[in-house]
Structure 1
Amino acid sequence: MRNRPALKILIPYLAGIILADRFDVNLIFLWFLSVICLLTIFFMYKKRWLSLSSAFLFVCFIVIGFMRYEIDMIPPRNIDRVVYQDVGVYGTVIGSQKERSGGSSVLIDAEAFPQYNPYIRMKSKITIRSWTDDSLSERYRQGDTIGLYGRLTQARNARNPGEFDYRKFLQRQGIFGIIYLNDEKIYQLGSGGSVFLRWIDSLQRKIGAVITELSSDYETESIFRSLILGEGGDVPLDLYRAFQKTGTTHVLVVSGVNFAILAGCGYWFFNAIRKYVLRIGKYKTLLEKEIITYIPVFIIIVIYLLVANREFSVFRAFIFITLFILSVIINRDRDIFNILAIAGLIILLFIPGAFWNAGFQLSFVAVASIAYLMPYLDTQLKKTKWFR
């Protein structure tokens, strides 16, 4: 790991997150411990005790990972006075999707208050879930402001050792409440958010309309929506189970392949335009450097990131492609493990609970395995007469 500094940081930081999920430690003590570690590292570095300072730096990153996870899991203020009460809720839509088990859901960044005392407020992400209405994800888009009255509950926690803890799963994403819709009415208080978000939403709808027009049946449409837009909830349950039986559900997500194809085609197209303009003798000073080609490519992949359903595989692929482009621009060696570690660090710094998401784990393990095994397999295949 001599030339992989990001990996040296990721390993202890990740260890801290894992330990924080198993043990509960007072945050004040953790802050005190981190300060002691930093002062010790500074002292040892001054004394040129490099081995000891490296060991304490390792411990320091463990403590930082521990603290970051603990801070993210702190429940919102007044949660015990608002949950399991009839409440009023209003907030901004930050996500919506169809559910494969039926119905649909909307995720909002909201404020909730009990109807008996509107001065008690709880700020948190809240999921609004309907078991029968499939249109929530179509009626309410990112940036819309909505409100409703209903009963705020929490997901069921694990009741037996080893059982899946759905409550903790949601809390790791910052979701501390659920409202299940029966006859409750949702009021739309505002729409659209910023002009840019409205444009992204419009682009997403247009791509969806093109997919619908070109598809021969609903199953085909649902597969293409999942592959291109990341709308996996549209795939019918029986079709999804067929993919499960064949072990190919991983193809029903937006992944690095999408970004690689988009970036590759974009680079080829804009580089061809750049060379053509240079041949006719225009803008030589501006276009003589190949770096200019990467600017529109980067803009395209940013737009695609916002259009696609932002799962962890999408973020990993976006960060990976972005770092790869940056390494080309600044002419640095491209170590795939270091780039992968940076992508993991960026995601875990913002969402430390992401580590426990199966999509996050499979996404990174799959890419790391390919990167590790491919050079060996390539060498072995070249030794056989069939691949010479």
Structure 2
Amino acid sequence: MVEISRRTLMIGGAGLAGAAVLMTKPGDESGPRDPYFLGLQAALDEAGIASPTLVVDKARLDANIDTLISHLPSGMAYRIVAKSLPSLDLIAHIRQRSGSDRLMTFNQPMLTAFSKAMPDADQLLGKPLPVAAARNYFQSLAPEDAAAAANIQWLIDTPERLAQYRELARAAGLTLRINLELDVGLHRGGLEAGDTLKAMLETLRDSPELSFSGFMGYEPHLAALPEALGWRERARSGAWRRYGEALALAAEFLGAETVAGLVRNAAGSPTYRYYQSTEVANEISAGSCLVKPTHFDTPLLEPHLPASFIATPVIKSMPQTRLPGLEFAAEGQRAWDPNTSRTVFTYGGNWMADPVDPPGLSYNKTFGRSSNQEMLTGGHNLAIAPDEFVFFRPHQSEAVFLQFGDIAVFEDGRISQRWPVFAASA
């Protein structure tokens, strides 16, 4: 029998612990720049752009539009989500490419802007608005734009709000199209089949100033639920069951023929591919998947391509990373993590976005974030000079797109157009 001394065990244990630590030591992630981003950089240089800019790749955008349309089952309509694509020119292009005349809008300025620019578009509110906002909308319309108001579906979530909109319609001598918000599992408000929905359907049936246009049931929570133990599938079945119960109740009060002609809106970018028939919904809404920010890097959206990037010039490029007040620690930090070896400071920063080119760049947690000159660190192979561009992928589109002025449209190797964005509003 072989005896192992306590000292030998201690030495061996220490060696294993040291090996485990070394296995967690970061590797150098820096390297050559991606030719795609070098092409974007050349286009920005040629266009004379020298400040933080939101870039949309038109070819990738078109591919994403085509991908979405190709996944829709027969009879399924597509509604463009305006908050995720906050530019009239961008949405006009998507309308033309997709063939859709349906928009989902989210505030009174959007309603007014589309009523003027696209009066033929059918607008469904993506959230219930205070009745005062609806009143402001009607007051904002010029006489020549008034006809566009008939193309709006006002989203209603409670009996109280329905009564407010009925009074608005009566006072203004209008007929308002009403779409009812359903709670199909998100629990962010809305209606379920039951006495409240029954009473609201009766109000719609008996109020000549109100026209019932359909239902909206939003279920983005499905994509966030784990597939393990069937949780996601049960939630999906539950959402469709709740939607079906509301449809059955509407058919009881209004007749099956009326219900067959209603808008039955559902989904969003993370979930639109779940709808393989029109049994529950007859239209899906989506927007973000067409430009694909990082929050939409999901298995269901794998066929979609990242089509939007933040580009910003490098102001300073440092051969070594030095932290104020912690200069003594820099050498040890670089020895442990080679990705902290070199530094660039960019024009602006603190965006909801991740750096993607040059490779291996990351925010420095010790230095912190900056909206003026963002510090990014990289490995020994980081090679970027002042006035060259760092590229980021936004986490989302609806807020981030509004921070850079006109969108730069990248097409056929150059910046072909600039698309103005909406004014920032809730």
Give yes or no for TM over 0.5.
no
More helix by share: 1
More strand by share: 2
Bigger CA radius of gyration: 2
| Alignment TM-score, normalising by the size of structure 2 | 0.22
| Alignment TM-score, normalising by the size of structure 1 | 0.24
